[in-house]
Copies of this chain bind each other. A is one copy, B any other.
Amino acid sequence: MPNPSHLRQSPQLVSLGGAIRTLRLAAGLSQEELAHLAEVDRSYLGRVERGDNNVAVMTLCQIARALDVSGAQLLELAQL
């Protein structure tokens, strides 16, 4: 695995998390509200926003949908 994840917070994951946070705040949602919409745990969503977790595509798309954007748009915002 190229991303040993002992090395957490890779710049890319931090960037992705930032994009999610930006969209969430723009939508005026709390982590808890977005977590509910995306059907994930609040604390898990928090970790994703901080770049502490390497999200799977399906989960990424759930979060994207909850933010009313496509997965592609989300990655684009994160410049990935």
Query: How many chain A residues touch B (Cβ–Cβ < 8 Å)?
Result: 23
How many copies the complex holds: the figure is: 2
- Are the CB atoms of B39 and A61 closer together than 8 Å? no
- Are the CB atoms of B80 and A10 closer together than 8 Å? no
| A28 on interface, CB distance cutoff 8 Å | no
Q: Jot down 9 A-B pairs with beta carbons below 8 A, ordered by A.
A: A2-B62, A12-B57, A54-B56, A57-B57, A57-B80, A70-B75, A70-B79, A71-B75, A72-B76
In addition to A13-B58, A70-B80, 11 A-B residue pairs with Cβ atoms within 8 Å of each other are A10-B58, A12-B57, A13-B57, A16-B57, A54-B56, A57-B60, A61-B80, A70-B75, A71-B75, A72-B72, A72-B80
